[in-house]
Every structure is written in structure tokens, then in C-alpha cells.
Amino acid sequence: MIYVLNGPNLRRLGTREPDVYGAETFADLTRLCEDTGRELGIEVEVRQTDDEATMIGWLHEAADHRIPVVLNPAAFTHYSYALRDAIAQRTAPLVEVHISNPAAREEFRHTSVVAGVATGTIAGFGLRSYVHALRAVAELVRG
């Protein structure tokens, strides 16, 4: 099992800034992740929340059960020390993922407060960022 956790506004994919995030929807993202999981022989559970407390709860759940995570923290990336602290408690690989390349965007997006406690970060490949992250997590889990 791998959790694919998504933060604020990601359910609005397809309508939210398509010039930045593309025309694909959250349903497309979910399908892509589930298909990639099947290809890798790993169950994938995709979740999205706009609520920081819910996200922290999911990260605690993953830590308690040693569940690897692909995480798109979205806006939480840049300021949520509470999310960072939850990620620091991880007991399995966690890959931070972004659809766009934050370093090529507005200045405030250049800093990730969660990157330092993640296993790694993949960004800038559109929804394919999730495929790369799932493959990386699968390789890490299999050793």
C-alpha cells in the first residue's frame, strides 16, 4: 500500500490555472496513480484535502502503519511547520511531489519547509511527477 496524499486546491485540477497545472482533472490523476500502482503490483490509495489537520492525521496514520507516501503538500509546502513535523515522524519512504516546478515560479514557492524531512522531491513533470514518485517509492520499499 502507498498513500498518495494531496493538499489544498488539487481537487480543482482541470479548472485551476490550466496554463500551470494542465487540463487533466483530479479524476485523471487518481486513475493514473491507480494504474501505475497496478503496474507496480502495489495498491495505491489517493486522497485529497484542503484541511491541514486532516493531512496531518493521514501522515500520522501512515507513520503508525509504516505506509509509504507520495505527498503533494501544495500550498502547505511553503509554510506548514506542523506538516513538516508530521513528516519527520515517518517510518517509511515519503516522496514530495509537485506538478509544476516551484523553483521556476513565484519567489514564495521556492522554499519547501517539508523537503528536508522527505526522502526526496520530484517536481515539474506534470502529472507524470506522480508516476516517477510512485516508481521511486516502490523501488525504495523493495530495496
CA angle 116, 19, 94 (to 5 degrees): 25
Does the annotation flag 80 for ligand binding? no
Does the annotation flag 109 for ligand binding? yes
60 catalytic? Reply is no
98 catalytic? Reply is yes
Q: How far is CA 115 from CA 44, 79, 122, 143, in A?
A: 22, 12, 10, 22
Does the annotation flag 78 for ligand binding? yes
Does the annotation flag 129 for ligand binding? no
Q: Which residues contact residue 124 at a Cβ distance below 8 angstroms, ignoring those fewer than 6 apart?
A: 98, 100, 101, 104
* Identified catalytic residue from 60, 65, 98, 110: 98
* Identified catalytic residue from 3, 21, 60, 65: 21
CA distance 56 to 28: 25
Does the annotation flag 65 for ligand binding? no
CA distance 122 to 132: 7
Does the annotation flag 112 for ligand binding? no
* Residues that constitute the known binding site for substrate: 72, 78, 85, 99-100, 109
Q: Which residues are annotated as a binding site?
A: 72, 78, 85, 99-100, 109
Residues annotated as catalytic are 21, 98
